[in-house]
Amino acid sequence: MSRTAMSQHTFRDPGAEARVRASFAHQGLMATLGADLILIAPGRVEIALPYRPALTQQNGYFHAGGTAAIADSAGGYAGFTLFPANTDVLTVEFKLNLVAPAEGDRLVAVGEVIRAGRTLTVCDLKVYGERGDRRTLCAAGMQTLICVPERP
C-alpha cells in the first residue's frame, strides 16, 4: 500500500494516538524485546527493533520470533488507529513470509490497513532490515484483526 493510498484513512477517535501509545506501553513482550514505536498515523504504524545478540538465531540474524512479533504489533496498532473509542484490538490471524535474512542495525516493521471494516480489519505487514541508509525487505505478510469492546 502506498503512502497516497494510506492518506484515505482518518482517526475515528481523536485520542487514537494516545490510546496506541498507552496500549504499546502495556505490552510486556515489546518492552522485553526493546521495541519502539517510531510512527503512528491513521492506518499506519511503524515499530523499530534495535539489534542485540539476545534477539538472534544461531546464524546471527534476527530471530523470526522477534520479526513476527513486531510485524504483528505494527499491523495490530495500524488497525487500532482506526477503531472507535472504548474498543480494543486482537489479532485473528496473520501470515508472514520470510523473504530474506533479517539483518542490520535494526528491523523496522510497517503495518498498513488495507481495509477497515466494522468488525474485521485487514492489514499489510512488511519488515525491513536497516543498516545505515540501506533498507532490505526481509518479511512480508497479511493480518486480520477484530475490534472488541475495551476491557475494564
- What does the pLDDT look like over 95-124, one tens digit per residue? 999 999 999 999 999 999 999 999 999 999
**Matching residue, cell 489479532:** 91
Neighbours of 2 (CB within 10 A): 7
Counted residue by residue, the chain has a size of 152
Please compute the mean of the pLDDT values over residues 8-31 and round it to a whole number.
94
The predicted model scores a pTM of: 0.93
Work out how many domains the chain is built from and give that number: 1
Kindly report the CATH number assigned to the domain that includes residue 51.
3.10.129.10
Please compute the mean of the pLDDT values over residues 80-98 and round it to a whole number.
97
Residue 91 is part of which domain span?
3-149
Q: CA separation (Å) from 10 to 6, 29, 78, 138?
A: 9, 28, 11, 29
Question: What nine digits make up the cell of 79?
Answer: 488497525
Q: In terms of DSSP bridges, do strands 106-116 and 120-131 run parallel, antiparallel, or are they unpaired?
A: antiparallel
Please compute the mean of the pLDDT values over residues 50-56 and round it to a whole number.
98
